[in-house]
Amino acid sequence: MYSKDKFKLGSERSAIRELFEYGKRQARIVGAENVFDFSLGNPSVPAPKKVNATIKKLLKKYSSTELHGYTSAQGSIELRTAISNDLNSRFDANSTPDEFYISCGAAAALCSVFGALRTSSKTEIIAFAPYFPEYKVFVEGSGAKFKTCELDEKDFQFNFEALEKLINENTAGVIVNSPNNPSGVVYSKESLEKLSAFLEKKSKEFGHPIYIISDEPYRELVYDNIEVPFVPSIYANTIVCYSYSKSLSLPGERIGYVYVPGVCEDSKEIYAAVAGSARSLGYVCAPSLLQRVVTECVSEKPDLSVYDKNRRLLYEGLSQMGYSCVHPDGAFYLLVKSPKGDGNEFSNIAKEKNILVVSGESFGCKDYVRISYCVDTKVIQRALPYFKELIK
What amino acid occupies position 34?
N
Task: Output the CA–CA distances (angstroms, integers) from residue 361 to 144, 204, 346, in the order listed.
Answer: 22, 35, 11
How far apart are CB 12 and a copy of itself at their closest, in Å? Answer: 9
**Is the Cβ of residue 159 or residue 291 nearer to a copy of itself in the bound state?**
291
Residue 11 touches a copy of itself, criterion: CB under 8 A: yes
How far apart are CB 271 and a copy of itself at their closest, in Å? Answer: 8
Residue 229 touches a copy of itself, criterion: CB under 8 A: no
Question: Which residues from 287-306 bind a copy of itself, rule CB under 8 A?
Answer: 287-291
> What percent of the chain is helix, strand and coil (3-state, nearest 5)?
50, 15, 40
- Do residues 276 and 344 lie in contact, with contact meaning Cβ atoms separated by under 8 Å? no
How far apart are CB 145 and a copy of itself at their closest, in Å? Answer: 14
Widest Cα–Cα separation across the chain: 63
Residue 4 touches a copy of itself, criterion: CB under 8 A: yes
Question: Which residues from 256-285 bind a copy of itself, rule CB under 8 A?
Answer: 266, 269-285
Task: Output the CA–CA distances (angstroms, integers) from residue 121 to 144, 181, 203, 281, in the order listed.
Answer: 6, 28, 20, 18
- Of the candidates 134, 111, 112, 104, which has an alpha carbon nearest to the alpha carbon of residue 254? 104
Residue 118 touches a copy of itself, criterion: CB under 8 A: yes
Given 229, 251, 330, 360, the residue binding a copy of itself (CB under 8 A) = 251
How far apart are CB 143 and a copy of itself at their closest, in Å? Answer: 8
Question: Which residues from 38-77 bind a copy of itself, rule CB under 8 A?
Answer: 40, 42-47, 51-52, 55-56, 59, 63-65, 67-71
Residue 378 touches a copy of itself, criterion: CB under 8 A: no
Residue 166 touches a copy of itself, criterion: CB under 8 A: no
How far apart are CB 69 and a copy of itself at their closest, in Å? Answer: 5
How far apart are CB 138 and a copy of itself at their closest, in Å? Answer: 6
- Stretches 157-165, 178-186, 206-214, 335-343: which one binds a copy of itself (CB under 8 A)? 206-214
- Do residues 370 and 360 lie in contact, with contact meaning Cβ atoms separated by under 8 Å? yes
- In our burial notation (b when 16+ CB lie closer than 10 A, e otherwise), range 215-225 reads bbbbbbbbbee
Question: Which residues from 207-226 bind a copy of itself, rule CB under 8 A?
Answer: 208-209, 211
248 by Cβ neighbours in 10 Å (0-12 / 13-18 / 19+) ranks as buried
Other CB atoms within 10 Å distance of the CB of residue 296: 18
33 by Cβ neighbours in 10 Å (0-12 / 13-18 / 19+) ranks as exposed
DSSP state of 298: T
Residue 385 touches a copy of itself, criterion: CB under 8 A: no
**Is the Cβ of residue 293 or residue 334 nearer to a copy of itself in the bound state?**
293
Residue 199 touches a copy of itself, criterion: CB under 8 A: no
The count of chain residues that interact with a copy of itself, using the rule CB under 8 A, is 84
Given 15, 174, 228, 250, the residue binding a copy of itself (CB under 8 A) = 250
